Chain A
Amino acid sequence: AQKVTQAQTEISVVEKEDVTLDCVYETRDTTYYLFWYKQPPSGELVFLIRRNSFDEQNEISGRYSWNFQKSTSSFNFTITASQVVDSAVYFCALSEAPNSGNTPLVFGKGTRLSVIA
């Protein structure tokens, strides 16, 4: 069965600090996709990144970076030089990918990030 664990329920940092959000997943499939979404107070889930199970290359996009390690089943998300606008709930999600197309997303419980000015 699929499972996503985000052990950090809430994190508070002071503006300009770096912060890492942890994500650990479980799946029996060899082909799967991992996602991060951001949910600001308005409630809409905003897509941030998708990685497939065959690509362990880390990715950087501006102040955001992702570290995917299959050996530890982790897909961690780091925000560098955090800003107040980064305050939101961040969700990690997993989707298995049979040949018929990927399955619905399984989400973690989310990590609420508060960036204090």
Chain B
Amino acid sequence: DTGVSQDPRHKITKRGQNVTFRCDPISEHNRLYWYRQTLGQGPEFLTYFQNEAQLEKSRLLSDRFSAERPKGSFSTLEIQRTEQGDSAMYLCASSLGSGRAQTQYFGPGTRLLVL
């Protein structure tokens, strides 16, 4: 059973460029979460999917951010017109089931640096 994988692991871009990150959850996990972590802080929730449906988006997710999970498998997170404040680690997590007892398992993250 492979864990959550994310690609790329590192991304350096110039301000104003668009970037896209990919997350592959643990197979059979129907919930997928995106979090953002800045230096010295805990991860902060961005959005999550149950299967292909995006169920919740945090206020942190500005209109420059969009996430998709076509077919309920992998997910992509796109940031348009990047700003220096977008520099952070972007973490993906997945969990199984629709009941209460769900543990989220995290991927290695994508570290974004906007110059």
Interaction A to B: yes
Residue ranges of A at the interface with B (Cβ–Cβ < 8 Å): 4, 31, 33, 35, 37, 42-47, 50, 52, 91, 93, 95, 97, 99-110
- Any A CB within 8 A of the CB of B98: yes
Query: Contact partner of B109 among A31, A44, A109, CB < 8 A?
Result: A44
Residue ranges of B at the interface with A (Cβ–Cβ < 8 Å): 31, 33, 35, 40-45, 48, 50, 56, 58, 89, 91, 93, 97-109, 111
What are the 8 closest A-B residue pairs judged by CB atoms, nearest first?
A107-B42, A45-B106, A104-B45, A97-B100, A44-B108, A101-B98, A43-B109, A102-B102
Query: Contact partner of A35 among B44, B103, B107, CB < 8 A?
Result: B103
Query: Contact partner of A101 among B102, B103, B108, CB < 8 A?
Result: B102
- The answer to whether B100 touches A102 (Cβ under 8 A) is yes
Q: Which residues from chain B contact A43 at a C-beta distance below 8 Å?
A: 89, 108-109, 111
| Sample of 18 further A-B pairs with CB below 8 A, known A101-B31, A101-B100, A109-B41 | A35-B103, A43-B89, A43-B108, A45-B43, A45-B93, A46-B106, A47-B103, A47-B104, A47-B106, A50-B101, A100-B98, A102-B101, A102-B102, A105-B45, A106-B45, A107-B42, A107-B44, A110-B42
* Given A33-B101, A109-B40, A104-B56 contact (CB < 8 Å): yes
Residue of A nearest to B103 (CB): A50
Q: Which residues from chain B contact A50 at a C-beta distance below 8 Å?
A: 101, 103
Q: Which residues from chain B contact A47 at a C-beta distance below 8 Å?
A: 103-106
* Given A105-B45, A107-B42, A31-B100 contact (CB < 8 Å): yes
Q: Which residues from chain B contact A102 at a C-beta distance below 8 Å?
A: 100-102
